[in-house]
Amino acid sequence: MDLTQKIKEKKATVSVVGLGYVGLPLCLEFVQAGFHVVGFDVNKNKVKSLQKGESYVTDITNQQISEALATERFRVTHDFSILKEVDTVSICVPTPLRKTKEPDISFIISATENVAKYLKKGQLIVLESTTYPGTTEEIVLPELEKRGLKVGKDFFLAFSPERIDPGNQMFSLKNTPKIIGGTTSNCTEMATSLYGSIVERIIPVSSTQAAEMVKLLENTFRAVNIGLVNEIAIMADRLNLNVWEIIDAAATKPFGFLPFYPGPGLGGHCIPVDPHYLSWKLKALNYTPRFIELAQEINSKMPGVVVDKVVFALNKFKKSINGSKILILGVAYKKNVGDVRESPALDIIELLRQKGAELYYEDQYCLHIEHDGHHYSSLSLNQIHWDHYDCVVIVTNHSYYNFEKIVASSQVVVDCRNALGVLKKYKEKIIKI
C-alpha cells in the first residue's frame, strides 16, 4: 500500500520530532483524526511528563494528554531508532537566535541527522520550524539524500510553517490555513494529503523556499508595523497626545488601515526572532533590509522607554528610582500564556535593577524566572499590599488582574498595555506609554 492510501485510510504511522508548543498540539490533532502517532523529544523530562499524562504546554490540558494516551495510538519517546517504524515525520524543533543575532539552526540539523539515519523508502518528511529561505533545500535535503535515496521518488520532503498562536481562543491548528511547499510536485501532493486530514484549508505554494518566505513575511509584517506604532507612541507622547485614542479613532476607517498597538517591546518565539532570519539571509546576498533593521532598533528600545516612564512616575512624587520598590505585573511575553521567551519584561527588570530599584513581580503563569544571573519568584496576588510599592508597572495584561482595584490601591501605575483604559477618577495615578 502506498503512502497516499495509508494516509487516506488512517493506516499511516505519523511522527513529530519536537514536543513543544508546536509539536505537541500537532500530535494531538493527528491522534484525534485517527492516526497512530509517535512523538519524539531529546528532553527526557518532557517525555516522562507526557507518559504520566502531564502537560507542560499552556494550551494543552492534562486531560487531553491522558485521553490521547488512552486511545493507545499515542506514544512518546526519546529513542530515535523508532523513526524506522514511521511513515511521516514532522520536524517541529526550536530555531532561536545566537547572541550575535544570527540564526541558530543546530536543532534542525540534529533532527535531520536523526531522521536521515533511519530514512526509508516512501517516507514523508516535513520541516515546520521557522527558518531562512533555502534551509530545506540547502541543509535538510542533502543530508537526507546522503544514503542514495532520491527526493520525489524514494521519499518526500516539504516545508510547512507552523502558525500556532499560543493563547488564541479563536484560531487553532485545525482552522488556521496551512501553507505547504514541496521540493517536487509529488512532495507537495503528499504533504497536502497528510495535513489535509487535520486542517480545514491547505494553501500549496510553488517551492519550499516560497513556504519558508511566507512565514518570515507574516512575522516581519507584524514586527515592522509594531515598530511603526511604537514610534508613533513616542511621537504622540512628545506632542502630549493620547496614542490609544488616536489608534482607536483611526481604526474606524473601514479600509486602508489596520490597527497595531504600542507596547513595552517585542516578545515570544516569532516576532522578535523571525525578521533576523530574513535580514541575515539578505545580508549574505549583499542587500540591507532597512525597514526590518529600523523596526528592530525601535522595538528593542521600548523597555528603555518603559523605564523612563517609571522614572517620570516616581519623580512626580519626589522619589528616586534608586531604592524604590517596583512591582512588575506580568512577565510573560503576552496575555494569558506562560512563556517568557524574549519577553520585554526581562529587559525592563534588568534595566530597573541596574538603576538601583528593588524588584518584585507577580505572574501566576510564570512562577519563577531567571535573567542575567538573577533569580526571581512570583509574589502571590492575594498577599500583595499595593500601596507598599512605590510604583506598579503593568507589562502583561493577564485577564485575572482586577486593574481598577489595582490602580485604586496603588501609589502610581505605569500602564504599558492600556489595561486601565480611561479611568478619569485615577488620572493622576496613571502613566501610559
Q: How many other CB atoms sit within 10 Å of the CB of residue 69?
A: 17
Query: Could you read off the pLDDT of 115-145 as tens digits, one per residue?
Result: 999 999 999 999 999 999 999 999 999 999 9
Are the beta carbons of 27 and 46 closer than 8 angstroms?
A: no
CB 381 within 8 A of CB 359: no
Do 269 and 338 have their domain in common?
A: no
Q: Is there a single domain that holds both residue 92 and residue 184?
A: yes
Shared domain for 171 and 63, answered yes or no, is yes
Residues 377 and 321 in one domain: yes
Q: What is the largest CA-CA distance in the chain?
A: 78
Q: Out of 54-68, 131-145, 263-277, which region has the weakest mean confidence (pLDDT)? A: 263-277
Q: In this predicted structure, which of 264-273, 327-336, 403-412 has the lowest mean pLDDT?
A: 264-273
The domain boundary residue, chosen from 173, 206, 239? 206
Residue 157 burial (CB count, 10 A): 25
Same domain for 227 and 196, yes or no, is: no
Per-residue pLDDT tens over the stretch 387-397: 999 999 999 99
Q: Whole-prediction pTM value?
A: 0.93
108 and 190 share one domain: yes
Residue 308: φ, ψ to 5°:
-60, -35
Per DSSP, 338 falls in state: -
Positions marked active-site: 270
Cell numbers that stand for 143 in this block: 543530508
Q: What is the spatial distance between Cα 403 and Cα 212, in angstroms, rounded to a whole number? A: 41
Tell me the pLDDT band of 433, cut-offs 50, 70 and 90: confident
| pLDDT at 359 exceeding the cut of 90 | yes
Instruction: Say how far apart CA 2 and CA 189 lie, in whole Å.
Output: 13
Q: Nearest-CA neighbor of 114 among 154, 69, 77?
A: 77
Query: Do 299 and 226 touch, CB atoms closer than 8 A?
Result: yes
CATH number at residue 306: 3.40.50.720
Residue 269: per-residue pLDDT: 77
State pLDDT tens for residues 65-108.
Answer: 999 999 999 999 999 999 999 999 999 999 998 888 889 999 99
Residue 60 scores a pLDDT above 80: yes
Rounded average pLDDT over 56-62? 91
317 shares its domain with 382: yes
CB 336 within 8 A of CB 167: yes
Distance between CA atoms of 184 and 189, rounded to whole angstroms?
9
Alpha helices, DSSP H, located in 273-369:
274-284, 290-300, 302-316, 344-354
* Structural contact between residues 129 and 107, judged by C-beta atoms closer than 8 angstroms: yes
Does residue 323 share a domain with residue 351? Answer: yes
Which of 300, 319, 336 finishes a domain? Answer: 300
Residue 281 is predicted with a pLDDT of 94
Query: Is residue 183 domain-shared with residue 213, that is, in the same domain?
Result: no
Of 300, 315, 348, which marks where a domain is finished?
A: 300
Residues 71 and 87 in one domain: yes
Mean pLDDT of 334-338: 92
* Nearest-angstrom CA–CA distance, 393 and 412: 9
Geometric angle at alpha carbon 364, from 265 and 50, rounded to 5°? 100
- Looking at the structure, do residues 269 and 416 belong to the same domain, yes or no? no
Question: 292-315 as b/e, with b when 16 or more CB fall inside 10 Å?
Answer: beebbebbeebbebbbebbbebbe
Quote the pLDDT of residue 373: 87
| Owning domain of residue 356 | 301-433
Residues 110 and 78 in one domain: yes
pLDDT digit string (tens) for 8-41?
Answer: 999 999 999 999 999 999 999 999 999 999 999 9
Q: Is 138 helix (H, G, I), strand (E, B) or coil?
A: helix
Task: Count the domains in the chain.
Answer: 3
pLDDT score at 427: 84
